[in-house]
Chain A
């Protein structure tokens, strides 16, 4: 068999995924986050165990393709031993880089992992009486498909993006299902007013 579709590391994580959640009850999660929607073809559950604000264990389940499986497997390895604060800032690009890249049209398959992780950390804070520590400045995801946040749009406008088409080119926002267009145009208008 010749070249595989994905990088050798993606293949390895797809063939032998790490940290799959096999017994949810036995894991005793400190925090749990489920994101995604079966309608879009992928859904992700991430559970974490936390000691002294360090993630000591991370397991997951997903309904998704090879890219989703491999990137979540990699993410679950990377976050072990990380502080909650650091884990909160992980971006899908970091995971994709660690995997040796994904084809461009598969990038959107890797964006659920970090979202689910943040949801799990939020859940940890919430269920441990530390709701106040959930990062308030948290960016809001505008484009679900490409994981583009309001912060990303703000940054893009600061860099000179002025039209919706430029925003699409710059962030890839709205290039998949297109449902975020109205919201994105609204924000574009707001930020353009601020920085334009």
Chain B
């Protein structure tokens, strides 16, 4: 059976060149913290990778901390707010409020929830029907108690891109720290930490064709910082644990490819996405596209089908070898539909009836045609047995 992977926002396959680099360096086992030849060899490769990754986001190499991935990076930043005063002699106490959005990734939302139990005050920004925040609301939420603003750059479910630069500008007027979860953005759209003027930025390797288990955090020079993971002196004492040499080398190569090929790849994916969108519009009635028509990730298409439940769509497509994801509650084992779609106000029927098609390296026109051939009969079939679709007719 043909297999078509259209779930690149969940994770990506290794880029062949990244795979090659991993294979070439699979025997580099020296501990990069060691002074001897073996250690120095690993350390040199890590330095090169760090430089490449820094270059991709226009940071200095010393402003990067390698982590286990996006969730760790997000946790590290958010938990700075409770790390202060007596509990941590190295830190000065911070203010007590965090502003974030209602559409963040669970690694931000659930960390915030945990912090609320520790007495931190949270404010959640609303989004409009296309998933964008209101900068005036951000302005109105900022107080002299705000410690940190954390706004994701691009949403994983609907692909909407926020105007981070404008949000930072407003935030800086109050001298408040700014973090952006850029896990879905880095490698897919241009990200420039100097231009954005953010204090912290999270990213993850496996979203840009590097392996799982490696990610990073940009920390602007002189920004307040405290360890999430204590231990050895790695990363200038900012994140303990023997460095993931192979993962870092792979991420470095992925960053190099993204910097070189990113703009062309983005244009290609955008065209492919619009091709799929037009094909769906042509062949399936009663559809609703979620997200922003312009400010969105080039390879992300989130679409709802009235009267058709998302898990059923996903599983029928799976039978045809097509991999997508859904905002339906049923698929995840959660019981509410996607918090992101609900925040955009589409309502429960369209939220439960949504699928996310996310394209990336390896997605081509043939895959799109295969999807466009398989999707309409699946939707028709589900609607035929639907108790809420065309019931009057």
Please indicate whether A and B come from the same complex rather than being unrelated chains.
yes
Interface on A for B, CB 8 Å cutoff? 1, 5, 14-15, 17, 20-22, 34, 36, 38-45, 60-69, 103, 105-106, 108-109, 145, 176-177
Q: Which of A17, A69, A177 has the most CB of B within 10 A?
A: A69
Cβ contact within 8 Å between B385 and A61: yes
Q: Which among B309, B315, B385, B391 is the interface contact of A5 at CB below 8 angstroms?
A: B315
B residues in contact with A65, CB < 8 Å: 309-312, 328, 330-331
Instruction: Kindly state the separation between the CA atoms of A43 and B385 in the bound complex, as whole angstroms.
Output: 11
Q: Please give me the residue from chain B that is nearest to A104 by CB atom.
A: B333
A2 to chain B, nearest CB (A): 12
Q: Which among B1, B315, B337, B389 is the interface contact of A41 at CB below 8 angstroms?
A: B337
B residues in contact with A109, CB < 8 Å: 330
A residues in contact with B329, CB < 8 Å: 41
Q: Give the top 10 A-B pairs by smallest Cβ distance, nearest first.
A: A65-B330, A65-B311, A61-B387, A45-B387, A105-B333, A63-B388, A41-B352, A39-B348, A20-B385, A38-B349
Cβ contact within 8 Å between B384 and A20: yes
**16 A-B pairs whose Cβ atoms sit less than 8 Å apart in the complex:** A5-B315, A22-B384, A38-B348, A38-B352, A41-B329, A41-B330, A44-B387, A62-B386, A62-B387, A63-B307, A63-B309, A64-B312, A65-B328, A66-B315, A103-B333, A145-B335
Q: B294 at interface (Cβ–Cβ under 8 A)?
A: no
**Binary per-residue interface labels of chain B (376-393) against chain A in the complex, 1 for a CB within 8 Å, 0 otherwise:** 000000001111110100
B154 to chain A, nearest CB (A): 27
Q: B319 at interface (Cβ–Cβ under 8 A)?
A: yes
Count the B residues whose beta carbon is within 8 Å of the partner chain — how many? 27
B residues in contact with A61, CB < 8 Å: 385-387, 391
Q: Which of A1, A21, A41 has the most CB of B within 10 A?
A: A41
A69 to chain B, nearest CB (A): 6
Cβ contact within 8 Å between B348 and A62: no
Cβ contact within 8 Å between A1 and B1: yes
Instruction: Kindly state the separation between the CA atoms of A195 and B310 in the bound complex, as whole angstroms.
Output: 45
Cβ contact within 8 Å between B309 and A64: yes
Cβ contact within 8 Å between B309 and A15: no
B313 to chain A, nearest CB (A): 10
* Given A65-B328, A66-B315, residue A38 in contact with residue B388 (CB < 8 A): yes
Instruction: Kindly state the separation between the CA atoms of A66 and B349 in the bound complex, as whole angstroms.
Output: 16
**Binary per-residue interface labels of chain B (287-321) against chain A in the complex, 1 for a CB within 8 Å, 0 otherwise:** 00000000000000000000101111001001101
Cβ contact within 8 Å between B385 and A62: yes
Q: Please give me the residue from chain B that is nearest to A62 by CB atom.
A: B387
Instruction: Kindly state the separation between the CA atoms of A1 and B385 in the bound complex, as whole angstroms.
Output: 26
Instruction: Kindly state the separation between the CA atoms of A61 and B386 in the bound complex, as whole angstroms.
Output: 5
Q: Please give me the residue from chain A that is nearest to B352 by CB atom.
A: A41
Q: Please give me the residue from chain A that is nearest to B351 by CB atom.
A: A41
Cβ contact within 8 Å between A41 and B385: no
Instruction: Kindly state the separation between the CA atoms of A61 and B309 in the bound complex, as whole angstroms.
Output: 13
B315 to chain A, nearest CB (A): 5
A residues in contact with B310, CB < 8 Å: 65
Q: Please give me the residue from chain A that is nearest to B334 by CB atom.
A: A105
A residues in contact with B389, CB < 8 Å: 63
B residues in contact with A40, CB < 8 Å: 335, 348
Q: Please give me the residue from chain B that is nearest to A66 by CB atom.
A: B315
Cβ contact within 8 Å between A43 and B388: yes
Cβ contact within 8 Å between B335 and A176: yes
A21 to chain B, nearest CB (A): 8
B residues in contact with A177, CB < 8 Å: 335
Q: Which among A34, A69, A108 is the interface contact of B385 at CB below 8 angstroms?
A: A69
List 12 additional contacts besides A64-B312, A65-B331, A106-B333; criterion CB under 8 Å. Answer: A1-B318, A15-B319, A20-B384, A41-B335, A43-B387, A61-B386, A62-B386, A63-B387, A64-B309, A64-B330, A68-B309, A105-B333
Cβ contact within 8 Å between B384 and A41: no
A105 to chain B, nearest CB (A): 4
